[in-house]
């Protein structure tokens, strides 16, 4: 009998005998308790719900559970037996009773003082009227079990949601202060937005929904067990969370998204947080982690999804690391989950979602032991969602649990820009699909069917109203009915909309250069490897008043030295982890080479409309020294008395990205191409260049490829562009352009 069949047979037999998964875990753990009574345990309950009964389905919540599980085991040292997953696919189902019983049995009954406890919920959220009216808006947030029921009584909708009040009581009952609760759901919105699915039940009149008798009785039982009066409960709840920290994927009035990635769906926030924690090299404060994860979440979802954190009052919990626990292993892009003969399967939880497509094949990893020592090399051969497969190309065969760190990636030359077709196109969608297919390297994709990079649609009255009401941006709103581009979360791409009355064919013809520049920007951003690069490079941005704006550095190369450069506080306003700079602000970049050898560097800027410009090199000659930054050198851009330009923040509004690329080999093709363009335009050295000619990106990628291929023990597609982490460091600074800070 095969092992999997044996496990299935045993599970069904135990179910027949009435022995649950929780019973088995409790009994088996008695031995562990006697052996390690003085060792703090790490307990986790992970709940994910996709297939709601009679409610709108979600698609990424079970992936969230797996994302958390792999991270907790392989990065934070949790024992698999101490992690209980409750999903559509597990023996214990995420019903109301299943979730509450699992919380009581797995967390409350087992946790001892000093133990680390994690509870994660991914699914629908909602709100109900608060019977005590002690919430600021008279509503209490809830999370929704798979079997949620609604009953009408006396004009009220009584629902079986699990309230925030109940979660507070359950947390209070845990006999440890080291509790982390992560909620990847939201409480308003519902339905779909662009290519995203909103994790909320659509209750347009939440004040007509109330907790049912079962929920209220359950709360009374816990108040009695905790010997807590109703008045004490309300007062404490208004002041603080019950234990540890609570991390929410979005504010009460914001949207939390189920987001399509390349080959799978997941919570935008859960993916961003777990991927970041795979890469984090130090044990930074959870509050600092969340600020950085906010920026990543906005990329995968919308700028309207800003994660929040609340820690128990008068404690140090927000100053401690995530999960109130130090990481146990080195950072990594992946972890080996299975070895079958010479085939190695691995979990790619540490790879940035924007780069996943290029990890399908040819990527090279070093596999390292728990101490970070390299033991061998693996090259990827295929990928299905977050599970990659590969072969050993050097050294020993890794065991399950071995960590994989990136050595090289290969960027195919046939990558496309995926354009979603919005419902606002109506009957023109079929015509649009055919027309887009005629544009080189543009792939039309139906919404809700997979990853898209941008959405083509009309400007609707609803979206125009949203844009007008965005006070921080004060965007110039396109005409209703005009054609243009949106992000996957339906935030408009500046300078992409035409005039009302423009035909679809005219719009597509107008957008051709835009598609080309957006594709070029995507390609160059696929080189970004700041988490894995081993070079020692750093970039800072400051205002001319020397106010620190942002920094970027090669994490594994530069390490903690960024702390020497970054002040502990700065007057620059930051929202969702992104610094805000008003139009007209003058800034200066500082790029630093901390290698003991010279580097060749390029600095490009990509604005919110997808247009690019090059800041460095800016001397239009073919001599390789034009891009040289000597060992130990700090170069200022612009450099006073040398450069003929100023870096002044300008429109379009929205996020602007600064890409800093360092190479150990010269950028010959890049300089040759820049010289030709400068001559054609009549530019003088020291001036800025807009990259309307996207051939510069192709030249830069060829230079990176030429410098990366030598010395690698691997075979690559001859047409791909290889990026070697020992020879290339590509970093990113993001800031948001706004009209005014007032």
Give the active site residue among 74, 106, 124, 453: 124
- The Cα–Cα gap between 566 and 199 comes to 37
What's residue 207's pLDDT? 86
Cβ contact 307:294 at 8 Å: yes
What's residue 9's pLDDT? 31
- The Cα–Cα gap between 667 and 670 comes to 5
Q: Are residues 588 and 511 in the same domain?
A: no
What's residue 154's pLDDT? 87
Q: Are residues 232 and 298 in the same domain?
A: yes
Alpha-carbon torsion, ordered 152, 256, 420, 484, to 10 deg: 100
Q: How far is CA 246 from CA 292, 308, 312, 466, 698, in A?
A: 17, 8, 9, 30, 46
Q: How confident is the model at residue 558 (pLDDT cuts 50, 70, 90)?
A: confident
- The Cα–Cα gap between 179 and 318 comes to 12
Q: How confident is the model at residue 741 (pLDDT cuts 50, 70, 90)?
A: low
Q: Which of 366, 359, 393, 395 is nearest to 714 (CA)?
A: 393
**What's the Rg (C-alpha) of the chain?**
27
Q: Are residues 655 and 612 in the same domain?
A: yes
Q: How far is CA 677 from CA 29, 96, 618, 648, in A?
A: 70, 65, 12, 23
Q: Are residues 394 and 461 in the same domain?
A: no
The model's pTM is 0.92
What's residue 476's pLDDT? 79
Residue position matching structure tokens 């007062």? 235
- CATH, residue 387: 2.40.30
- The Cα–Cα gap between 131 and 126 comes to 16
What's residue 341's pLDDT? 83
Nearest-10 crossing angle of helices 268-279, 286-300 = 130
Please state, as a whole number, how many other Cβ atoms lie within 10 Å of the Cβ of residue 719: 10
What's residue 645's pLDDT? 86
Mean pLDDT of 375-385: 97
Q: Are residues 214 and 243 in the same domain?
A: yes
Proportion of the chain above pLDDT 90, given as a percent: 76
Cβ contact 740:584 at 8 Å: no
Given a cut of 80, whether residue 11 has pLDDT beyond it is: no
- The Cα–Cα gap between 255 and 197 comes to 9
For residue 697, is it within any domain? yes
Given a cut of 50, whether residue 601 has pLDDT beyond it is: yes
Q: How confident is the model at residue 588 (pLDDT cuts 50, 70, 90)?
A: very high
Phi, psi of 401 (to 5 degrees): 95, -10
Q: Are residues 69 and 175 in the same domain?
A: yes
Mean pLDDT of 116-126: 97
Mean pLDDT of 674-680: 92
Angle (nearest 5°) at CA 204 between 422 and 169:
115
For residue 217, what is the DSSP state? H
Mean pLDDT of 144-171: 95
Q: How confident is the model at residue 56 (pLDDT cuts 50, 70, 90)?
A: very high
Alpha-carbon torsion, ordered 233, 238, 241, 242, to 10 deg: -10
Provide the domain limits for residue 372: 334-406
- Note the pLDDT tens digit of each residue in 403-446: 999 999 999 999 999 999 999 998 888 889 999 999 999 999 99
Number of domains observed in the structure of the chain: 4
- The Cα–Cα gap between 107 and 712 comes to 48
Alpha-carbon torsion, ordered 697, 698, 700, 706, to 10 deg: 160
Give the active site residue among 61, 106, 186, 187: 186
Tell me the HSE value of 438 on the side-chain side, using a 13 A CA sphere.
8
What's residue 58's pLDDT? 97
Q: How confident is the model at residue 301 (pLDDT cuts 50, 70, 90)?
A: very high
Structure-token pair, residue 354: 């924007």
For residue 21, is it within any domain? no
Q: 371, 387, 406: which is the final residue of a domain?
A: 406
Given a cut of 70, whether residue 39 has pLDDT beyond it is: no
For residue 264, is it within any domain? yes
Given a cut of 90, whether residue 373 has pLDDT beyond it is: yes
Cβ contact 657:736 at 8 Å: no
Proportion of the chain above pLDDT 70, given as a percent: 91
- The Cα–Cα gap between 266 and 122 comes to 9
Given a cut of 90, whether residue 28 has pLDDT beyond it is: no
For residue 322, what is the DSSP state? G
- Note the pLDDT tens digit of each residue in 162-201: 999 999 999 999 999 999 999 999 987 788 999 999 999 9
Spell out the residues 6+ positions from residue 90 whose beta carbon is closer than 8 angstroms to its own.
Answer: 21
Given a cut of 90, whether residue 717 has pLDDT beyond it is: yes
- Note the pLDDT tens digit of each residue in 333-353: 999 999 998 899 999 999 999
Q: Strand pairing partners for 339?
A: 344
Q: Are residues 432 and 397 in the same domain?
A: no
For residue 66, is it within any domain? yes
Peptide bond into 136 cis (omega under 30): no
Structure-token pair, residue 700: 């830069």
Q: Are residues 512 and 543 in the same domain?
A: no
For residue 536, what is the DSSP state? -
- The Cα–Cα gap between 519 and 116 comes to 45
- CATH, residue 232: 3.40.50.1460
Q: Are residues 394 and 458 in the same domain?
A: no
For residue 192, is it within any domain? yes
Cβ contact 566:288 at 8 Å: no
For residue 29, is it within any domain? no
Mean pLDDT of 36-56: 87
Q: Phi-psi category of 263—alpha, beta or left, where left has phi over 0 and alpha has psi -120 to 50?
A: left
Cβ contact 405:332 at 8 Å: yes
Q: 324, 358, 383: which is the final residue of a domain?
A: 324
For residue 687, is it within any domain? yes
Lowest mean pLDDT among 256-270, 464-478, 634-648: 464-478
Q: CB-based burial of residue 584 (10 Å sphere; 0-12 exposed, 13-18 middle, 19+ buried)?
A: exposed
Given a cut of 50, whether residue 521 has pLDDT beyond it is: yes
Per-residue b/e over 462-490, b at no fewer than 16 CB within 10 Å? Answer: ebbebbeeeeebebebbeebbbbbbbbbb
Tell me the HSE value of 293 on the side-chain side, using a 13 A CA sphere.
29
Phi, psi of 544 (to 5 degrees): -65, -15
Is the pLDDT higher at 310 or at 21? 310
Given a cut of 80, whether residue 140 has pLDDT beyond it is: yes
Q: How confident is the model at residue 101 (pLDDT cuts 50, 70, 90)?
A: very high
Q: How confident is the model at residue 630 (pLDDT cuts 50, 70, 90)?
A: very high
Structure-token pair, residue 211: 């907790």
Q: How confident is the model at residue 31 (pLDDT cuts 50, 70, 90)?
A: very low
Q: Are residues 422 and 277 in the same domain?
A: no
Structure-token pair, residue 500: 């009302």
- The Cα–Cα gap between 476 and 468 comes to 8
Q: Are residues 401 and 423 in the same domain?
A: no
Angle (nearest 5°) at CA 104 between 59 and 84:
45
Q: Indicate if 61 belongs to the active site.
A: no
Q: 324, 355, 372: which is the final residue of a domain?
A: 324
- CATH, residue 465: 3.40.50
Given a cut of 80, whether residue 475 has pLDDT beyond it is: no
Phi, psi of 614 (to 5 degrees): -115, 130
For residue 4, is it within any domain? no
Q: How confident is the model at residue 567 (pLDDT cuts 50, 70, 90)?
A: low
- Tell me what the pLDDT averaged over the chain comes to: 90
Q: Indicate if 120 belongs to the active site.
A: no
For residue 467, what is the DSSP state? H
Q: Are residues 259 and 392 in the same domain?
A: no
Structure-token pair, residue 379: 């090259």
Q: How far is CA 740 from CA 27, 457, 572, 575, in A?
A: 62, 29, 13, 14
- The Cα–Cα gap between 651 and 581 comes to 11
């Amino acid at each position: 009998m095969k092992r999997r069949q044996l496990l299935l047979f045993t599970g069904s037999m135990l179910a027949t005998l009435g022995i649950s998964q929780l019973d088995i875990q409790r009994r088996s753990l008695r031995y562990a308790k006697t052996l390690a009574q003085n060792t703090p345990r790490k307990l986790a309950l992970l709940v994910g719900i996709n297939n709601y009964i009679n409610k709108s389905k979600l698609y990424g919540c079970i992936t969230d559970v797996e994302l958390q599980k792999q991270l907790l085991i392989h990065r934070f040292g949790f024992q698999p037996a101490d992690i209980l997953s409750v999903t559509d696919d597990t023996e214990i189902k995420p019903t109301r009773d299943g979730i509450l019983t699992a919380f009581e049995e797995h967390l409350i009954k087992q946790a001892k003082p000093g133990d680390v406890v994690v509870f994660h919920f991914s699914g629908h959220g909602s709100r109900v009227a608060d019977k005590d009216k002690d919430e600021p808006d008279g509503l209490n947030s809830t999370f929704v079990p798979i079997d949620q029921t609604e009953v009408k009584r006396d004009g009220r909708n009584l629902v079986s949601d699990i309230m925030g009040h109940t979660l507070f009581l359950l947390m209070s009952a845990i006999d440890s202060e080291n509790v982390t609760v992560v909620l990847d759901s939201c409480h308003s919105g519902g339905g779909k937005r662009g290519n995203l699915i909103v994790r909320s039940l659509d209750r347009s009149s939440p004040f007509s929904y109330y907790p049912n008798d079962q929920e209220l009785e359950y709360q009374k039982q816990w108040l009695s067990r905790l010997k807590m009066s109703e008045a004490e409960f309300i007062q404490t709840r208004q002041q603080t969370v019950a234990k540890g920290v609570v991390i929410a994927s979005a504010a009460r009035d914001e949207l939390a998204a189920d987001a399509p990635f390349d080959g799978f769906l997941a919570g935008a926030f859960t993916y961003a947080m777990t991927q970041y924690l795979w890469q984090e090299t130090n044990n930074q404060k959870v509050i600092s982690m969340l600020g950085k994860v906010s920026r990543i979440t906005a990329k995968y979802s919308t700028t309207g999804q800003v994660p929040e954190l609340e820690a128990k009052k008068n404690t140090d919990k927000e100053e401690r690391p995530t999960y109130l626990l130090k990481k146990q292993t080195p950072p990594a892009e992946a972890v080996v989950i299975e070895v079958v003969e010479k085939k190695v399967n691995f979990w790619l939880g540490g790879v940035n979602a924007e780069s996943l497509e290029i990890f399908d094949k040819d990527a090279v990893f070093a596999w390292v032991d728990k101490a970070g020592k390299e033991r061998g090399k693996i090259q990827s051969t295929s990928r299905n969602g977050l599970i990659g497969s590969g072969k050993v190309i050097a050294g020993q065969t890794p065991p399950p649990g071995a960590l994989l760190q990136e050595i090289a990636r290969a960027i195919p030359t046939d990558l496309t820009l995926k354009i979603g077709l919005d419902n606002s196109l109506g009957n023109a969608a079929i015509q649009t699909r055919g027309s887009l297919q005629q544009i080189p390297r543009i792939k039309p994709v139906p919404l809700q069917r997979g990853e898209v990079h941008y959405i083509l649609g009309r400007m609707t009255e609803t979206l125009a109203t949203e844009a007008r009401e965005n006070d921080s941006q004060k965007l110039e709103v396109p005409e209703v009915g005009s054609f243009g581009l949106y992000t996957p979360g339906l935030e408009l791409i500046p300078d992409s909309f035409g005039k009302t009355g423009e035909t679809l064919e005219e719009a597509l013809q107008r957008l051709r250069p835009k598609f080309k520049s957006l594709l070029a920007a995507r390609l160059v951003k696929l080189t970004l490897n700041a988490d894995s690069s081993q070079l020692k490079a750093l970039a800072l941005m400051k205002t001319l008043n020397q106010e620190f704006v942002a920094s970027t550095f090669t994490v594994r190369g530069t390490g903690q030295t960024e702390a020497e450069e970054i002040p502990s506080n700065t007057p620059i306003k930051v929202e969702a982890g992104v610094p805000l700079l008003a139009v007209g602000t003058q800034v200066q970049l500082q790029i630093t080479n901390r290698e003991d050898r010279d580097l060749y560097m390029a600095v490009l800027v990509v604005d919110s409309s997808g247009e690019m410009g090059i800041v460095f090199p800016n001397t239009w000659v073919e001599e390789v020294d034009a891009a040289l930054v000597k060992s130990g050198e700090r170069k200022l851009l612009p450099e006073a008395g040398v450069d003929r330009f100023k870096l002044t923040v300008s429109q379009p509004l929205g996020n602007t990205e600064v890409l800093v690329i360092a190479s150990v080999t010269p950028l010959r093709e890049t300089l040759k191409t820049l010289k030709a363009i400068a001559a054609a335009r009549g530019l003088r050295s020291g001036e800025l260049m807009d990259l309307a000619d996207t051939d510069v990106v192709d030249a830069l990628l060829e230079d990176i490829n030429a410098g990366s291929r030598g010395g690698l023990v691997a075979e690559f597609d001859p047409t791909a562009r290889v990026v070697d982490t020992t020879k290339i460091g590509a970093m990113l600074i993001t800031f948001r352009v706004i009209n005014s800070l007032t």
